[in-house]
Amino acid sequence: MRLITERLILRPLRVGDESDVLAYRGRADVCRYLEESPFTAATIGPFVSARTSATRIAGDGDRVLLAVELDGRVIGEVRLKVASLRNRSGEIGWVFHPAHHGRGYATEAAHYLVGFGFGELGLHRVWAQVDRRNVASARVCERLGMRLEGVLRESLRLDGEWADQEVYGVLEREWHPDPAASPSRPEHLIAADRRSD
């Protein structure tokens, strides 16, 4: 699976990506909003290796996890996890190196993956759970056309403190495959192209 957006390559993580992934997943400021603690040079290898095969959905709980590559370097990841095939629902998430924040890369990559969920996977609803303090990720949700559906108060314990989780969601009938047609008008138009490795 190799997917091309206007500026990015989305592809499975592979052995050899460890140093790029460690550059952001080893940072406390990135992991502040994640359930995992920062990785080290000793622990990043098993993390990457365990996720290299996350490329197909066969049952509930399966996920597609794609590295986001820019100019030959992995700058982040996007993930779509199917919660229920019967209910046709999935959860999207992303994590990016802070040096690449503010340029629309997360929106561009996530927009493709939401479209993949509605198109190829036939999902009815896609949602994201965002730590309430993570304003940047909430903005990505809004640019994707997601609505704030509710708040799960003190539902997650991160770094020894309770965090509220905001739930954003979008239904298939609300989805705008062309970002330019979306009411939230993401900055960058995605031209997705599927290629085989």
Q: Per the structure, how many domains does the chain have?
A: 1
Helix axes 105-119, 135-143, angle to 10 degrees: 50
Position 99 in a domain: yes
CATH code where residue 138 lies: 3.40.630.30
Taking residues 109-118, what's their average pLDDT? 94
- Residue 97 resides in a domain: yes
pLDDT, one tens digit per residue, over 20-51 is 999 999 999 998 888 888 999 999 999 999 99
Secondary structure (3-state) at 33: coil
- Domain assignment present for 197: no
pLDDT of residue 35: 84
pLDDT at 3: 84
What 3-state class would DSSP assign to 165?
Answer: strand
CB 7 within 8 A of CB 69: no
pLDDT, position 194 = 28
Report CA dihedral (110, 146, 136, 104) to the nearest 10 degrees. 40
| Residue percentage of the chain with pLDDT more than 90 | 73
Confidence of residue 180 (pLDDT cuts 50, 70, 90): low
Q: Which structure tokens are listed for 95?
A: 């994590």
According to the model, what pLDDT value does residue 45 have? 96
CA dist 75 and 187 (Å) reads 19
Asked whether residue 93 is domain-assigned, the answer is yes
Distance of CA 38 to the CA centre of its chain: 18
Give the structural domain span for 167. Answer: 2-192
| pLDDT at residue 182 greater than cutoff 60 | no
Question: Is residue 86 in a domain?
Answer: yes
pLDDT for position 189:
27
Are 78 and 90 spatial neighbours (Cβ–Cβ below 8 Å)? no
Neighbours of 75 (CB within 10 A): 23
- Please state, for a pLDDT cut of 70, what percent of the chain lies above it: 90
- Rounded to an integer, the average pLDDT of 110-135 is 94
> Strands 125-131, 89-96: parallel, antiparallel or unpaired by DSSP?
parallel
Residue 179 has pLDDT above 80, yes or no: no
Per-residue model confidence (pLDDT) at position 190:
28
Q: Note whether residue 39 is domain-resident.
A: yes
In angstroms, the CA 3 to CA 195 distance is 6
Establish if 29 belongs to a structural domain.
Answer: yes
Tell me the CB-side half-sphere exposure of residue 72, using CA atoms within 13 A. 0
Whole-number average pLDDT of the chain: 88
pTM assigned to the model: 0.84
- Residue 20 identity: D
